[in-house]
Amino acid sequence: MTCFTLYFQGYLLHWSSMSVSVIVKWGGQEYSITTLSEEDTVLDLKQSIKSLTGVLPERQKLLGLKVKGKMAEDHTKLGLLKLKPNTKIMMMGSREESLEDVLGPPPDNDEVINDFDIEEEVIEVENREENLAKIARRVKEYKIEILNPPRQGKRLLVLDVDYTLFDHKSCAETGTELMRPYLHEFLTSAYEDYDIVIWSATSMKWIEAKMKELGVTNNSNYKITFMLDSAAMITVHTPRRGVVEVKPLGVIWGKYSDFYSKSNTIMFDDIGRNFLMNPQNGLKIRPFMKAHLNRDKDQELLKLSQYLKEIAKLDDFSNLNHKHWERYLSKKQGQ
């Protein structure tokens, strides 16, 4: 039985649930998972498996997880499966084996799959106790490798990778051909006022490979404070879209409260749902796709570097509506 009370981000959380322990058999090895509770979902289990094996959740097939004779869906809570301690689960699936697999074939269209405008959600999820409890667990359990120490007095810029800094599905001979225009100029400018964090919904291995390929990791003009992968994300239930994964900035704020908070943090991502736990801090960037056609046209990072420079003058970002960042920038530049 897991039962405790904690104070987190201004909320008193009472968490009481049975822990779940399973053993996953895959590739001739066994992997023990003991950090889940009955309130977690099958998708949470898949994320834990991914952190151990590198197999993405969408590539996993878990044998034997059934509810009333039917295969359990991703949103199914583990408590409904009535798993005995250390139940053994067989997994089928393969991990990505090369950076080329990450890049993949060209997309069929220009739309980002399964995205939606966070304003369409009627029920707010950011203050739900169950979601705050998940964030608190990530704060406690997720390990961050500091690449460069946080700097006192700097704001925080959190950046997605795929379609934000990098066209990860178009074909090219090198990763730099898929790099968004003005990337290094953008990061150099931002670093003057912001600590920079990379957060991608993939495994750390692929984040590190992409950042190295793009020349970001060891650039002499700017520094990356740390990087987060999909294991730092949480799942939330929405009334319209069911269970979705999001990037809760509370994980960063909880670990580094002396440096970062709602008042000094901004996140760029091409997928709006990633902001569900912190909508006030998210700026939905236009996705960078078809690099071979848009390499000489895209100026998104050039303009956003100017926006970051303007808002860095503020003591508090709380009153900003990043949805209208272009309007704000135009007004400031016209004064």
Q: Consecutive 10-residue runs of the chain (335 residues): their mean pLDDT?
A: 47 59 87 85 90 85 83 89 88 64 43 49 72 93 96 98 88 78 97 98 89 92 97 87 89 98 97 91 94 87 97 95 94 84
Strand order in the sheet with 87-92: 29-37, 19-26, 87-92, 61-63
Q: For position 143, what pLDDT does the model report?
A: 95
Residue 141, classed as helix, strand or coil, is helix
- Alpha-carbon span 326 to 105, nearest angstrom: 32
CATH of 131-334, one of 3.30.465.10, 3.40.50.1000, 3.40.50.1110, 3.40.50.720: 3.40.50.1000
Closest listed residue to residue 165, CA positions, set 268, 238, 308: 268
Computed on alpha carbons and rounded to an integer, the radius of gyration of the chain in Å comes to 20
Segments making up each domain of the chain, as ranges = 2-95, 131-334
Beta-strand pair 2-8/282-284:
unpaired
DSSP class of residue 231 equals G
Question: Which ranges of the chain would DSSP assign to H, the alpha helix?
Answer: 42-53, 99-103, 129-141, 183-191, 204-213, 250-255, 291-294, 300-311, 325-334
SS3 134: helix
pTM: predicted TM-score of the whole model, two decimal places: 0.71
The architecture CATH gives domain 2-95: Roll (3.10)
pLDDT at 17: 57
Hunting for tokens 């996140």 — which residue is that? 267
| 22-68: pLDDT as tens digits | 999 887 788 998 878 888 899 989 988 988 888 888 888 888 788 88
**Two structure tokens written together for 158:** 């959190």
| Of 204, 167, 199, residue with least CA distance to 274 | 199
Instruction: Tell me if domain 2-95 and domain 131-334 are identical in fold.
Output: no
**pLDDT per residue over 219-265, tens digit each?**
999 999 999 999 999 999 887 778 889 999 999 999 999 999 999 99
Q: What is the pLDDT of residue 2?
A: 44
The length of the chain, given as a count of residues = 335
